[in-house]
Chains A and B, each alone.
Chain A
Amino acid sequence: MKRLLPLLCLMALLAACEKDIEFDGAITEPMLVINAVALPDTTLSVEVTESRFFLVSQDTFTTVKNATVSLFVNGTFKENCAHQANGRYTSNYRPSEGDHIRLSVSAPGLQTVSAETMIPMRPVIERIDTSLSIPEAYPISYNYYDSQGNSIGGDTTGWNIHYKMTITLTFKDPGGQADYYRLVVKRQRDYYQEGYFENIWYTKDDIVFGETETGADMEEIIDMGTYNIYGTFTDELFDGRSYPLTFGVEEWIYVSNEDYNSGRMPLDSTKKASEDTEPYIIDLQALDKSYYLYLLTSSAYDPYSPFAEPVQIHSNVEHGIGILGAYAGSNLKLSLSF
């Protein structure tokens, strides 16, 4: 909305006129694109594709199946990653925290590219504190209508509970260097698909997330807030100290009548639906700078916003495009208990 507003005003005022024009600049050649994120104790998976000139119409990007993807760790050659399928190459080597990773990718007809990164150390989580509140709870009952059309309330069968859990995660930041973080909250959803994790939206109350909001109703009219969709932040405000990071999860839960009645808290959680009992996984990730910048710039990238200065998505690939990022996460599970 915020970007549309001036445009709408403009359009309302004027009958704008569009016409197709010839591109009269230099047509640039396709480049090698590599996409990879290195994690400790995990084999490295590298996607190799080809970029295309923006006026070329094509549904998918061309994958590069005949590339040589060389992996260097701490300055020494380790291996050529094996091609699996559709331009995806994997290593046998499982890097460790603190490893310096370099990829060199070459393919016939395209310029050889390289990228490097350093796998950060896993963050040290010191403690976690939670507080739970229930701002709203509504009884669920069977209602029926009599012959005059009046609603007659039936028995309460259960409750819809709106709960908010404020979480404070305290972790130790290594001093004397710029550190980049991302907070991820997820829940395992095996009922949906084996091994599937659902990302949980959380309130980014903490100042480090840099979110500003304009207030509930106003967003509908003019959106002046800034949002941090990937939950990234830096240690600029707490370099070298233990930092209590505050955020919150806020969800609705259905509780049957036996568990929750007349304002009393439900006593045991076993009768709640199974998807609501999955523990929250709080994953604090330390990111390398390139990956952090990639997340920041790609979330701001908006090709449909003609008035804003276009965003250059961060790339650390020499002579090519893409990203070789790295992160190391520490996580803990948090079960919801009333």
Chain B
Amino acid sequence: MNVRALLPLLLSMMAYASVNAITLSGHIVDANTGETLINASVFERTTGKGTVTNPYGFYSLTLPASSLLVRFSYVGYAQQTLALAPTKDTVVNIRLVPSTELSEVTVWGGDVRETGVKGSQMSTVQIPASQIKAIPTLFGEADLIKALQLLPGVQAGTEGSAGMYVRGGGPDENLLLLDGVPVYNVNHLFGFFSVFNTDAIKNVTLYKGSFPARFGSRLSSVVDIRMNDGNDQSYHGNVSVGLIASRFNLEGPIIKGKTTFNVSLRRTYADILVQPFIKIAAASDQSLSGMSAGYYFYDFNAKLSHILSDKDRLYYSHYMGDDAIYAGFKEHYKEGGNLTEESRMKMNWYWGNLISALRWNRIITNKLFMNTTASFTRYRFDLGISNVWEQRQKNPPAHFKEEQMVGYLSGITDYTFKADFDYLPTPDHDIKFGASYTNHTFRPGVSVAKMRSTDTTAFNLDTIIGDKNVHSHEFQVYVEDNMNLGDLVKANIGLHYSTFAVQQTFYHSLQPRLGLRFLISDKLSAKLGYATMSQYIHLLSNSSVSLPTDLWVPVTKRIKPMVSRQVSAGLFYNLLDEIDLSVEAYYKTMDNLIEYKDGASFMGSSTGWEDKVNMGRGWAYGVEFLAQRSFGKTTGWLGYTWAKSERLFDRPGQEINGGRVFPAKYDRRHDISLTLTHNLTKRIDLSGTWVYSTGNCGTLAMQEYDGLDIPDAQMWFSNNGHINSRNNYRFNPYHRLDLGINFHKQKKHGVRTWSLSVYNAYNNLNPFLVYPSSDYTYDRINDRYIEIKKLTQLSIFPIIPSLSYAYKF
């Protein structure tokens, strides 16, 4: 952007400043809890100007100094209107009261939501946490990622998994931000649950395209998750007991109206429940005594916020969560009174994230807001197994001891410093700019082996096998201006620039971003979006199931950064002031994607991974329809997606599928989802989800043939499968209905809720895997078995009812 282009902008700002203008600014919070409200609307009737609050509940609106009628509103809250006649800049902090009544949001035509008809943002969906909690789920465990998977343009991959495939992209192309900090591993239990405890979450925004310039570093989506700050007036909490996990949440003021805390804990307890059974088994079988084993996962979220002054606020966010598998075994042997022998085996296997962020908000002027963040995020996988054998003899006295220990470690650690600014010079410009620096440390797979013995002649060992840590530096800078260009056109124009330095290799990328809105009528608009995105890290994984050994690696000299370019266009309509309708079409290209070479496999070690992958490209296009109602007694959405996603790996020496185009792993033509929640009475609410999608692709070897009798080999396959093309077979369509009902009752100290839900209510056997198999029948006449080949479908989730109890105080 040159100076000439900036001139009209500067002139318009100066013109605005020269009129006697004042700035209204402040925070909008929930009246009961003091929780800041994100994207709450502020709208002035006479001028028709408005704005929304930022992720910290802050707004700033510069208006002419005259009598003003300002309305503050937020979905699910009663609106507040203030008549003001300010003569100077004024701070107006608002506490909105929650209400289920329909608010007259659009009576004044004042829908200023960025994702609504009048905003410049498209390809974006917001879901309040309350709605996520209401959706019936597998084992009754509310799950954010699974709620997102019900939106058009987002696919789940295999059933029950928390993987996300957004607009034809891969599961490692999603930037999941928890209070602005990336979360590297979003899975618990091999992907069947996600790490986000819905008790701790306030608000979720999903960006599928038209990415604002403030986001970068992933190709396909940004999921902006904000945690609850905590009630600033009184102590509240809830306890819930479910089929899989129990949860506990407590929030309240440390200093009333000033300092708050919010802590949430979730833990599965199957391992604890299983212990008595192990004990019973051990009682009947001597060899099992001293055995313990189990699996669990937990999540711990904590947030502290503190108002330092009218202008300064501090936030501290913390998350830690792990999956753990443990096993122990102890064996004791006695020979007379003279000799005792003991052997102990212990295995500890755990993996998870640790996130910490300290944030400082400062209102520099009424028009300039600053947020600085220092954060830490780490994903690590750790496996340790130890074996000890000990022998003691009394006469003659002797002691032998042997110890063996093996371990495996891998992971990624980031330290990030960033500063973001929000500058609102006039109601027609919302300028955001900022910069960040991230230091990544990639810890590739490292194995440790130790052997020690009291027997000096025995083999002693203490080695470390694996690569050294790899350090890299990522720098990002951005600027965007969300501006009104007259009444009909609104544009968010931005630039994102990033650099990445790793092992004497330097990459950089300039990424233009554009969001355009043309207002056709008060209720109808057309939007256009464009975004270039670049990604400097890859997730190595060679399974369609999320495994803890999946490894993040940086780009290298040979493996270039991935780049995506996406154009989207759509129509947005507000029906009867209640339902947001949208139709969007997109086309996306992806470059420098990686896929494993045929025959190459990766398992937990990054050694030589570059040799095992091929680079290629892909493209995806589709149309998405969404009808969403976010307030009132009945809420939910209906989504439909028509999509296509293909890959081409045809660079010389890097061919996959013979250099021919093949469908991407989760390429599906149709996806339909209907999600509804209805408050029947004050005490009962109902929810339901129905999904239908084209079957997933699978690869089948359609022909079998005689394999080569390999010279100088003891072993070879004599029955080879010939795969003419990858993903050449389509499974049967997938469809499922989930139902849920909640019964609430006011008790002395709070509200108790019984939740009953049924996953896959009509027990449809959906395909999870399809594979060839054989039956054998005995042929009496020829005295032999005859093989009958067939195709078998594996379904893993039949009808699953679940029940949970919650008490909110």
Residues of B within 8 A of A323 (CB): 708
| CA gap between A14 and B765 in the complex, in Å | 14
Residues of B within 8 A of A56 (CB): 789
**Cβ-based interface call for B568 (8 A):** no
**Cβ-based interface call for B798 (8 A):** yes
In which size bucket is the chain B interface?
A: 35 or more
Bitwise interface map of A from 44 to 60 toward B, beta carbon under 8 Å scored 1, else 0: 00010101111111010
Min CB distance, A41 to chain B, in Å?
15
**Cβ-based interface call for B797 (8 A):** yes
**Within the complex, which residue of B543, B603, B658 is in contact with A226, where a contact is CB–CB below 8 Å?**
B603
**Cβ-based interface call for A296 (8 A):** yes
Q: Are A59 and B703 in contact (CB under 8 A)?
A: no
Q: Are B796 and A54 in contact (CB under 8 A)?
A: no
A sample of 10 inter-chain contacts (CB < 8 A) reads A9-B190, A13-B189, A20-B793, A54-B701, A199-B714, A226-B602, A295-B710, A301-B717, A307-B545, A308-B601
**Cβ-based interface call for B342 (8 A):** no
**Within the complex, which residue of B699, B706, B765 is in contact with A17, where a contact is CB–CB below 8 Å?**
B765
Bitwise interface map of A from 284 to 307 toward B, beta carbon under 8 Å scored 1, else 0: 000000000111111111010011
**Cβ-based interface call for B750 (8 A):** no
Q: Which of B699-721 contact A (CB under 8 A)?
A: 699-717, 720-721
Residues of B within 8 A of A33 (CB): 705-706
- A-B residue pairs, 9 tightest by C-beta: A300-B599, A51-B705, A224-B604, A297-B599, A224-B603, A51-B703, A61-B706, A310-B699, A35-B708
Residues of A within 8 A of B547 (CB): 6
Bitwise interface map of A from 190 to 215 toward B, beta carbon under 8 Å scored 1, else 0: 00000001010000000000101111
**Cβ-based interface call for B465 (8 A):** yes
Bitwise interface map of B from 350 to 369 toward A, beta carbon under 8 Å scored 1, else 0: 00000000000000000000
**Within the complex, which residue of A210, A297, A309 is in contact with B611, where a contact is CB–CB below 8 Å?**
A210
Beyond A20-B790, A21-B793, A297-B598, whether A10 also contacts B703 by CB under 8 A is no
Q: How many residues of A contact B (CB 8 A)?
A: 82
Given contacts A13-B192, A59-B787, A301-B720, 7 further A-B contacts (CB under 8 A): A19-B793, A22-B791, A215-B406, A218-B385, A225-B605, A226-B603, A313-B598
Q: Are B706 and A47 in contact (CB under 8 A)?
A: yes
Residues of B within 8 A of A59 (CB): 787
| CA gap between A31 and B703 in the complex, in Å | 8
Q: Which of B573-612 contact A (CB under 8 A)?
A: 596, 598-605, 607-608, 611
Residues of A within 8 A of B700 (CB): 25, 54, 310
Please choose the segment from B88-96, B206-214, B674-682, B723-731 that sits at the chain A interface, where 4 or more of its residues have CB less than 8 A away: B723-731
Q: Are B406 and A216 in contact (CB under 8 A)?
A: yes
Please choose the segment from A148-156, A163-171, A314-322 that sits at the chain B interface, where 4 or more of its residues have CB less than 8 A away: A314-322
Residues of B within 8 A of A25 (CB): 700, 702, 728-730
Q: Are A314 and B598 in contact (CB under 8 A)?
A: yes
Q: Are B459 and A135 in contact (CB under 8 A)?
A: yes
Q: Are A310 and B703 in contact (CB under 8 A)?
A: no
Residues of A within 8 A of B774 (CB): 57
Q: Are A224 and B408 in contact (CB under 8 A)?
A: yes
| CA gap between A177 and B543 in the complex, in Å | 34
Report A's interface with B, CB cutoff 8 A. Answer: 2-3, 6, 9-10, 13-23, 25, 28, 30-31, 33, 35, 37, 47, 49, 51-57, 59, 61, 135, 184, 186, 197, 199, 210, 212-218, 221-226, 229-230, 236, 283, 293-301, 303, 306-315, 321-323, 325, 327
Min CB distance, B609 to chain A, in Å?
10
| CA gap between A55 and B723 in the complex, in Å | 14
Q: Are A212 and B703 in contact (CB under 8 A)?
A: no
Residues of A within 8 A of B447 (CB): 213-215, 218
Q: Choose among B408, B600, B705, B767 the residue with the greatest number of A CB atoms under 10 Å from its CB.
A: B705
Residues of B within 8 A of A327 (CB): 711
| CA gap between A216 and B600 in the complex, in Å | 22
Q: Are A23 and B711 in contact (CB under 8 A)?
A: no
Q: Which residue of B lies closest to A219 (CB)?
A: B406
Residues of B within 8 A of A311 (CB): 598-599, 723
| CA gap between A230 and B790 in the complex, in Å | 32
Min CB distance, B548 to chain A, in Å?
10
| CA gap between A221 and B711 in the complex, in Å | 33
Q: Are B712 and A186 in contact (CB under 8 A)?
A: yes
Residues of B within 8 A of A53 (CB): 702-704
Residues of B within 8 A of A9 (CB): 189-190
Q: Are B796 and A217 in contact (CB under 8 A)?
A: no
Beyond A55-B772, A297-B598, whether A309 also contacts B699 by CB under 8 A is yes
**Cβ-based interface call for B383 (8 A):** yes
Bitwise interface map of B from 760 to 787 toward A, beta carbon under 8 Å scored 1, else 0: 0000010111111010000000000011
Q: Are A315 and B408 in contact (CB under 8 A)?
A: no
Beyond A10-B190, A35-B707, whether A55 also contacts B598 by CB under 8 A is no
Min CB distance, A217 to chain B, in Å?
5
Q: Choose among A16, A22, A218, A223 the residue with the greatest number of B CB atoms under 10 Å from its CB.
A: A218
| CA gap between A57 and B283 in the complex, in Å | 50
Beyond A6-B543, A55-B789, whether A229 also contacts B715 by CB under 8 A is yes
Residues of A within 8 A of B699 (CB): 309-310
Q: Which residue of A lies closest to B790 (CB)?
A: A20
**Within the complex, which residue of B544, B713, B797 is in contact with A230, where a contact is CB–CB below 8 Å?**
B713
Residues of B within 8 A of A213 (CB): 447, 465
Q: Choose among B347, B598, B717, B792 the residue with the greatest number of A CB atoms under 10 Å from its CB.
A: B598
| CA gap between A313 and B598 in the complex, in Å | 8
Residues of B within 8 A of A13 (CB): 189, 192
Q: Are A308 and B543 in contact (CB under 8 A)?
A: yes
Beyond A10-B796, A224-B603, whether A306 also contacts B722 by CB under 8 A is no
Residues of B within 8 A of A55 (CB): 772, 789-791
**Cβ-based interface call for B453 (8 A):** no
